[in-house]
């Protein structure tokens, strides 16, 4: 039992990131079922409304639990100087990334969209390096390029079909990858000052406002009679897991191990999505997909143990200088 607890403490950030990308990779199966019954605008409106209510309920219950503790904890207050960054993160993540990734998916293939969104770690590392927010080691750049190569190999058969028909959807998916990376970078300084649940609640509230205004009219044209139990179940899944739960856990993982290290796990999203489609939908899974999977997993191991060795390496002794009288 102690060994399990030690493993959880030592690898908690990586395990959390793995859980999140597993949710994202399998998400399209549940979403697809619901979107066949809901109008897209109606689904987005109800999803954002549900996430808003959930986020503030969690914050309320968390504060109440702390209030009932025998040892009092200071109440979390948002500093005025952080409102600008909170607004920026909310717009980047909830006003731009989620809607654009959905629109891009509608105008291109799912695998093409997954591949383009998987380039976000490169954008994140470039932004972190330019803004000097986090140290990016050479081995991290190498590992990310290897992971990208693994994803390309994994999706090679799909790229052969879709590469000649690159469309506006491909460009939108690429833009959404940049906004996802920018969201992680913008929220990074806030992770050390606020709990992940509080951060998610504020950024979601700010980012949801324009989306709710745009999608509210779709409620009037929705045929509510055709929505089945599975359709509502898919909506509940979309409210709880892919965004609110996953993004809160992702913020905690970023705080635990750093943005540039968790970002590489995003490369697993199209891999997990491909495996899910093979198991659930019966899609073929050939040697190229296996090779791409192995290469991507190898890059994760490289960045995990390579960076750890670099950080734990003892500093070199200072050179001995000649003493002159």
Q: Which residues contact 135 (CB under 8 A, 6 or more apart)?
A: none
pLDDT in tens, 89-118: 999 999 999 888 877 776 766 666 776 777
CA distance 17 to 119: 17
pLDDT in tens, 302-320: 665 555 555 455 444 444 3
Pull the structure tokens for residue 84.
Answer: 């600008």
The dihedral region occupied by 282, where left means phi > 0, alpha psi between -120 and 50, and beta the remainder, is left
CA distance 152 to 89: 29
Which pLDDT value is given to residue 62?
A: 78
CA distance 11 to 304: 10
CA distance 287 to 211: 42
| C-alpha to C-alpha distances, 282 to 26, 71, 276, 277, 290, nearest whole angstrom | 14, 54, 9, 6, 16
Helices then strands (H, E): number in the chain? 15, 0
Q: Where are the alpha helices (DSSP H) in 69-109?
A: 83-90, 98-106
pLDDT in tens, 234-288: 899 888 888 778 878 888 888 888 876 787 787 787 778 777 777 776 666 667 7
Which pLDDT value is given to residue 315?
A: 46
Among 80-89, 134-143, 241-250, name the most confident range.
80-89
Give the global pTM: 0.70
CA distance 84 to 131: 17
Q: Locate tokens 């066949």: which residue?
A: 36
Do residues 199 and 255 make contact, with C-beta atoms less than 8 angstroms apart? no
């Amino acid at each position: 039992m102690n060994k399990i607890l030690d493993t959880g403490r030592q690898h908690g950030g990586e395990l959390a990131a793995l859980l999140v990308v597993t949710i994202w990779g399998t998400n399209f199966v549940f979403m697809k079922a619901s979107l066949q019954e809901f109008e897209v605008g109606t689904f987005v409106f109800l999803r954002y409304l549900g996430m808003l209510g959930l986020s503030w309920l969690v914050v309320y219950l968390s504060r109440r639990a702390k209030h009932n503790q025998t040892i009092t904890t200071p109440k979390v207050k948002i500093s005025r100087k952080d409102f600008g960054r909170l607004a920026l993160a909310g717009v980047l993540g909830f006003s731009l990334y989620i809607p654009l990734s959905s629109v891009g998916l509608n105008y291109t293939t799912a695998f093409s969209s997954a591949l383009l969104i998987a380039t976000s770690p490169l954008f994140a590392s470039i932004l972190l390096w330019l803004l000097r927010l986090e140290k990016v080691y050479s081995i991290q750049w190498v590992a990310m390029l290897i992971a990208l190569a693994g994803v390309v190999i994994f999706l090679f058969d799909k790229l052969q079909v879709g590469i000649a028909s690159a469309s506006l959807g491909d460009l939108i998916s690429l833009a959404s990858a940049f906004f996802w990376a920018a969201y992680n970078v913008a929220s990074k300084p806030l992770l050390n000052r606020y709990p992940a649940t509080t951060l998610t609640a504020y950024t979601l509230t700010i980012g949801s406002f324009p989306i709710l205004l745009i999608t509210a009219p779709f409620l009037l044209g929705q045929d509510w009679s055709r929505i089945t139990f599975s359709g509502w179940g898919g909506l509940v899944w979309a409210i709880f897991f892919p965004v609110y739960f996953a993004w809160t856990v992702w913020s905690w993982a970023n705080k635990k191990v750093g943005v540039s290290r968790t970002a590489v796990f995003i490369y697993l999203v199209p891999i997990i999505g491909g495996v899910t489609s093979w198991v659930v939908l019966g899609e073929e899974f050939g040697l190229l997909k296996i090779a791409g999977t192995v290469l991507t997993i190898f890059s994760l191991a490289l960045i995990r143990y390579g960076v750890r060795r670099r950080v734990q390496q003892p500093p070199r002794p200072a050179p001995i200088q000649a003493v002159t009288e």
